[in-house]
Amino acid sequence: EADIYQTPRYLVIGTGKKITLECSQTMGHDKMYWYQQDPGMELHLIHYSYGVNSTEKGDLSSESTVSRIRTEHFPLTLESARPSHTSQYLCASSAPGVAGGFYGYTFGSGTRLTVV
């Protein structure tokens, strides 16, 4: 059972609306990530955070913004949704590894956003 939760699972919204996609994890992970998955299934990192009050832009430019006020919560906001924002958004977190190691991500189930 996943310990990282995304809501809503599906969202259909009109152009120009402000939306917030929620992501929460109960594992106490410091590091969290947002990926955008386009219709061709490729994943692109759009935001990441290595702890509270720390956020960075990812490899793919995005008009969305994120915040990290609490360790467990990493919401993504679109101030004015457009059809080009239609995509699946995946949230993930990672645990610290021993001696600088890394064990990979735990993913949420995703939010499928459609802007009409």
Q: Rule CB under 8 A: which residues touch another protein?
A: 2, 6, 9, 31, 33, 35, 40-43, 45, 48, 50, 58, 90, 92, 94, 97, 101-110, 112
Closest among 5, 36, 26 to 112, alpha carbons compared: 36
Asked whether 10 and 16 are in contact (CB, 8 A), the reply is no
Q: Which residues pair with 4 in a beta bridge?
A: 25
User: Residue 16 or residue 97: which is nearer to another protein going by CB?
Assistant: 97
Find tokens 């759009």 and name the residue: 46
Task: Give me the least distance between CB of 90 and another protein, in Å please.
Answer: 6
Query: Which residue, 20 or 102, is less far from another protein as judged by CB?
Result: 102
